[in-house]
Amino acid sequence: MEKVAILTSGGDAPGMNAAIWAAIKLAAVNGTQVVGVEGGYDGLIDGSFRPLTKSADGGAGLRPVAGLAWTAGTGGTFLGSSRCPRFLEPKNRANAAAQLREAAIGGLIVIGGNGSLTGAHLLALEHPDLRVIGVPASIDNDIGGTLDALGVDTALNTIIDACDRISDTARSHHRAVILEVMGRRSGYLAMASAVAATADAVILPEETRTEDEIRARLEELIRRSFAPGSDKRRVLIIKAEGVAVPTTRLARQLQDQLADIPNVTVRATILGHLVRGGHPSYHDRMLAGRLALAAMTAFHDDHTDLMTGWNSPIGTPTADANVRLIELADMVSETKAMLDGSSPIVQRRIQLLNKVREVLAL
């Protein structure tokens, strides 16, 4: 009977559990045993495996082991995740491959972000006897070759909910709020949530403005918003964590600069890891099912070194019109271009933002 392993690695994202659950069920109906790897690449190197399927009672078929069904609608990853520096070394990847062979496992599904998928690419290149397929999962939406990743939609819904709540209280007190959201190298969450939450300004790591320029622009915005005759009652500024200006310092300095306006306060709120958790949205559960289906199909079709991509302009079509199979090497180069700003996707995002910026501030 064929066996496939599955692991989650890097930053956790809502929808990872839904993807694991979908993969288990899809494999089971194909008679493929699924083995869970605990704790990401650390567990792979150390052979921390546990069965996720078992023989169906009295028959030759397979079914998921008991006690897992509840996980599908939860955030995080029940298999656990890790940052595993050991996986950067070829000899440790060779140990990981040996663990799979020893357990008679023919392939590995890696659910994770661009780092984890880069590791998956190297494992596939160095060990072509194994079938390695990636599923993109990252709340930052910073994975090349896919327009969406598991967790992005849920994280955006969480941020928008926080924006709405903070706006309720800010409107009652003529407050300006700087809300920091996750995104060390990618401002996607900040930009998308700013538009959806009708924020007044957004600050992204992809921009090149200096701290003084940012502060001057925000001061002008707050003064204009709370000037006599304006009916604005709150100013909401969304800032990505990767912008090299501490959020609390920015709020404090703006408060000092605005001391001459009575009754206006500037507050900082940092959402941090709150944005990572929570039940996956409908969209993330749907994405999990469809990306897992394409991944399991690719495994059964003997493919390797691929990732499943959502609405990607590149890659090979699958039976699902919205899902393509992307070479992991292309994911690596597209991600690099996204993060250094040379990617057309990032350039389009900045152009769009420049158009949106003036509208946001009205």
Residues tagged active-site: 140
Whether the CB-CB separation of 62 and 54 falls below 8 Å is answered with yes
Q: State the Cα–Cα distance between residues 136 and 148, nearest whole angstrom.
A: 8
Q: State the Cα–Cα distance between residues 238 and 163, nearest whole angstrom.
A: 9
186's tokens? 């990618």
List of residues 6+ apart from 347 with CB closer than 8 A: 341
CB of 323 to ligand ADP, least distance (A): 20
Task: Work out whether 17 is an interface residue with ligand ADP (CB under 6 A).
Answer: no
Of 21, 41, 78, 226, the one binding ligand ADP by CB under 6 A: 41
Of 14, 43, 107, 119, the one binding ligand ADP by CB under 6 A: 119
Residues 53, 54, 60, CA angle at the centre, nearest 5°? 120
Task: Work out whether 144 is an interface residue with ligand ADP (CB under 6 A).
Answer: no
Q: Which is nearer to ligand ADP, 34 or 45 (CB)?
A: 45
Q: What is the DSSP string of 261-283?
A: STT-EEEEEE-GGGGG-SPPPHH
Task: Work out whether 141 is an interface residue with ligand ADP (CB under 6 A).
Answer: no
Alpha helices in 80-226 (DSSP H): 90-102, 114-126, 152-173, 188-196, 211-225
Of 107, 115, 205, 278, the one binding ligand ADP by CB under 6 A: 115
HEC profile of 313-359: CCCEECCCCCEEEEEHHHHHHHHHHHHHCCCHHHHHHHHHHHHHHHH
Whether the CB-CB separation of 145 and 120 falls below 8 Å is answered with no
Of 87, 226, 299, 310, the one binding ligand ADP by CB under 6 A: 87
Q: Which is nearer to ligand ADP, 141 or 297 (CB)?
A: 141
Task: Work out whether 8 is an interface residue with ligand ADP (CB under 6 A).
Answer: no
Of 138, 141, 154, 186, the one binding ligand ADP by CB under 6 A: 138
Q: Which is nearer to ligand ADP, 16 or 162 (CB)?
A: 16
How many residues bind to ligand ADP according to rule CB under 6 A?
Answer: 17
Query: Cβ-closest residue to ligand ADP?
Result: 115
Task: Work out whether 49 is an interface residue with ligand ADP (CB under 6 A).
Answer: no
Within its chain, how far is the Cα of 360 from the centroid? 25
Of 54, 83, 171, 273, the one binding ligand ADP by CB under 6 A: 83
CB of 89 to ligand ADP, least distance (A): 8
Task: Work out whether 15 is an interface residue with ligand ADP (CB under 6 A).
Answer: no
Q: Which residues bind ligand ADP (CB under 6 A)?
A: 9-11, 41, 83-84, 87-88, 112-116, 118-119, 122, 138
